């Protein structure tokens, strides 16, 4: 069974990701300007009053040179870690610590993380919020993680934040 994280805001860089009990699992904060600033991704654990927060990663956004991801005591050059791919060079691929290559297939309404080995296995999918037009129910943005991605969950969150923000910048959103 997959894990669903619901976004409190329809922004990959300023939101909290809530579990099925509406408890925060990750908090993502970026100051008002992106470039020249840092996005901080915090992992939350425990239930109030024993709630704890721990910085999991940072994305240092740069305009004139490659942005950096700081995670697990390492600083990664994004241009070498999350590489552009596809015909439009919009999609992003990376190799996880399990040795597998994954690709963020960045669509306009749905974004998917695919195991990039030809199997087509969808490891995660993101759906933007919808306003409930034409009689449909409004829906909050959410990220679903399949069991095949549980072992790289933190990495999925970090690469999603980066890839989806770049996707929205290219859309002008």
Summarize pLDDT for 96-152 with one digit per residue, the tens: 999 999 999 987 778 999 999 999 999 999 988 776 566 566 778 999 999 999 999
From 53-62, 64-73, 136-145, 147-156, the region with the lowest mean pLDDT:
136-145
- Cα(159)–Cα(156) distance, rounded to whole angstroms? 5
pLDDT for position 158: 98
Question: Which residue has 């080995």 as its token pair?
Answer: 117
- Cα(57)–Cα(46) distance, rounded to whole angstroms? 19
The whole domain housing 144 covers 3-171
Work out how many domains the chain is built from and give that number.
1
State percent of the chain over pLDDT 70.
Answer: 93
Here the CATH number for the domain that contains residue 117 is 2.40.160
Closest CA to 106 of 170, 18, 28, 23: 170
Whether the predicted pLDDT of 173 surpasses 60:
no
């Amino acid at each position: 069974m997959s894990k669903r994280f619901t976004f409190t805001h329809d922004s990959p860089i300023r939101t909290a990701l809530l579990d099925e009990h509406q408890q925060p699992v990750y908090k993502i904060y970026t100051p008002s300007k992106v470039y020249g600033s840092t996005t901080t991704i915090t992992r939350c654990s425990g239930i109030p009053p024993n709630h704890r927060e721990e910085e999991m990663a940072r994305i240092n956004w740069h305009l004139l040179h490659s942005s950096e991801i700081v995670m697990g005591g390492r600083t990664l050059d994004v241009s070498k870690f999350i590489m552009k791919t596809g015909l439009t060079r919009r999609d992003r691929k990376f190799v996880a610590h399990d040795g597998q290559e994954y690709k963020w297939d960045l669509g306009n309404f749905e974004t998917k993380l695919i195991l990039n080995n030809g199997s087509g296995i969808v490891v995660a999918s993101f759906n933007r919020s919808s306003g409930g037009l034409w009689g449909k129910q409004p829906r909050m943005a959410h990220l679903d993680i399949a069991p095949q991605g549980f072992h790289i969950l933190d990495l999925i969150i970090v690469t999603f934040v980066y890839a989806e923000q770049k996707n929205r910048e290219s859309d002008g959103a």
